[in-house]
Amino acid sequence: MHVDGQATASGRRKLGRGGKIAILVAVLAILGIAGTFVAIGPLQAAPPISSEAASPLRSQPGTAFPVVKPATVTAVPAAGAKEVNPAAPVTLAVANGTIDNVSLRSASGQDIEGALGAGRSQWTSSGQLAFNTTYTFTYTTLDGAGRTSSATSTFTTVSTKNEADAAMYPLDGMSVGVAQPIQLTFSEPVTNKKAVEKAITVTSTSGQAGAFHWFSDTVVRYRPESFWAANSTITVKMDLFGVDLGKGQIGNFTKTNTVHIGDKRTAVADAKAHTFTAYINDKPVQTWPATLGDERFPSARGYLVLMEKQRRAHFVAASIGLKPGDPANYGELDVEYATRLTPSGEFIHQATDNALPYLGQVNLSHGCIGLGPDGAAWVFNNMTTGDVVQVINTDGDYANFDDGFGDWNIPWSQYANG
* Catalytic residue check, 349: yes
How far is residue 173's CA from residue 165's CA, in Å, rounded to a whole number? 20
Using DSSP's 3-state secondary structure scheme, residue 203 falls into: strand
C-alpha pair distances (Å), 64 with each of 60, 68, 148, 238 = 8, 11, 21, 61
Looking only at the bridges linking them, the beta strands covering 275-280 and 369-371 are unpaired
Contact 160, 131 (CB under 8 A): yes
State residue 79 phi and psi, 5-degree precision: -60, 130
Measured CA to CA, the distance from residue 359 to residue 349 in angstroms comes to 12
CA distances from 71 to 76, 100, 149, 244 (A): 17, 12, 8, 35
Candidates 213, 274, 349, 366; catalytic one = 349
Residue 325 and residue 318 in contact, taking contact as beta carbons nearer than 8 Å: no
Do the Cβ atoms of 252 and 131 come closer than 8 Å?
A: yes
The set of residues, in sequence order, having a beta carbon less than 8 Å from that of 313 and lying 6+ positions away, is: 334, 335, 338, 347, 349
Residue 368 annotated as catalytic: yes
DSSP 318: G
Q: How many CA atoms lie within 13 A of 340 on its CB side?
A: 16
Q: Are 228 and 250 in contact (CB under 8 A)?
A: no
Count Cβ neighbours within 10 Å for each residue of 137-152 and write b for 16 or more, e otherwise.
bebebbbebeeebeee
Catalytic residue among 213, 274, 366, 368: 368
Burial of 71 (0-12, 13-18, 19+ CB in 10 A): buried
Spatial neighbors of 17 by CB under 8 A, at least 6 apart, are none
Active site residues: 349, 368
